[in-house]
A and B are shown apart, each in its own frame.
Chain A
Amino acid sequence: MRNSFIKTLMEQARQDERIFLLCGDLGYSVLEPFAEAFPDRFINVGIAEQNMVGLAAGLSLEGYTVFCYSIGNFPTLRAMEQIRYDVAYHDANVKIIAVGGGYAYGPLSTSHHTTEELGMLRTIPGMVVTAPGDPAEVDAMTAFIAQHRGPCYMRLNKAGEPRLHAQPPALTLGGIVPVRVNSESAAGTAAVFATGDMVGYAARYLEEKAPHIDLYSFPFVNPIDSAQLAALAVRYGHIATIEEHQANGGFGSAILERLHDLLSDGALARLPAVRRIAIPNAFVSSAGSQEFLREKMGLRLDDWHATLS
């Protein structure tokens, strides 16, 4: 995903001289091509994320579209007040990019587990919060946020994720992306809503064990297109949300909130049964690969799948 990001960002930067990239002394072996191609629009600011985000706000006040790149919690939680106050309140055109979403840096321990930022960021007014599901969605999302005026966040996994889409999907703000959908006539009653790299996990699981269950990627955690969501809520009786994030306030929470809003607004007549699969509001202190930690923390579809039949 990170290689898709930098490749697309370079394409954007060739066309748009306002694009500027800051990094917090991370991105070795990823960002060098950008730094070489656009030396006047790249700075490694050092290990100083609060300053990085403040600088980005300042550069954006002068017309730049500023990308801030670092690992997981560092450009997000560490600089949360700068994101809220300097960036979002001033509607600054700043894009926070975090590599290593969820447990992507699993063995590096809790400091590197990025499992709360989606919830924190989606409470900030005006913040577009995204977690694309595969390299093709990263291509599309990088171009989208480069051209979208205003503060954005993009969570990346790491590298080597399989492509789920032949072409980068067309994105609209808040749009939901079908990944595998059975034809209307053959449709089952169940669907998985996934975000970030859990889209890839869900695609592999369903392909092997439940091809009749449909899968949608939510590259936008905030906002979420209400009309699209309402249509899916009518179509499916059973929905599982799955995310590599704490349960409180995350993607599944966002879905539940929106569905209840649609119900109370009269846009939905009934609610589907929603199983929220997320980290059970807990830290994990043991070493482990991303796959091991996901399994340990219950990020799997088989329990829900077993309840369907």
Chain B
Amino acid sequence: MEAIKIKNLKKQYKNFILNIDEMKVPKGYITGFIGPNGSGKTTTIKSIMNMISPDDGEISVFGKNIDEDLSIKERVGFIGDISGFLEESKLKNIKKNISRFYSNWDDNLYNKLINSFSLNETSIYGKLSKGQKKQFDLAIALSIRPKLLIMDEPTANLDPVVRNEFLEILQEQMEKNDLTIFYSTHVTSDLDKCADYIIFIYKGKIILHGEKDNILENHSIIKGKKELLDEETSKYVLSSKVNSFGFTALTSNKSEVYEVFGEEVIYEKPTLEDIMLYYTRRN
């Protein structure tokens, strides 16, 4: 069963249209939702969380509508760009008030996370640094013992140390508690480390999805002399960049391209960032 299933989701704004024919987030894995800013990541996540009303389409979480079945919503942790916690409140009061809504609240886990992040519970939420706020948000979201954790750009603006710590805790919790994580970001290096699946959205449409290792395996960056890239051979690459030294291009079918270019070009393993850059350049 999929943790999240989306069918024919449509949402139209003045200058942007979200149009997702189908999107599935597999249960028990970390799925990275990538795409440049303004691609529709936040709109999709807000639609899942019922923070906006789609014009059309169906969204189910563990097979049910998240807003109709509150027992499902009780097992969904959400970390957005904005937490909505009162800036003037002390951390201990926020925790006290939020924990009451969740029957599976885990006080031990909360205390463990707060201690490992060295957060002082008497601190005022609004006076925390951005990194500390995200750490607190994560502690709250994990302490509800979610089955699904949805995060919208949680590591944006965090320094590498806090970001790594954040990702390590996520992985640890996923392994221990059969947690599904759906995680939007444009910092693709985070996903290189921890994602199992990737969904790539661009200009409101899903343009690539699948297992991360398969995606990385099937794609290849090729580098060669610019004379090798002509009208005929460029059909075999997704997009390319040519300069006076030669060309670099991305292909999604390594074996086919090998038949065309053979040993005359260099083949390199791409990162998710490379793939994202070449796909967006294509358009």
The yes or no verdict on A and B being binding partners is no
Residues of A at the B interface (CB closer than 8 Å) are: none
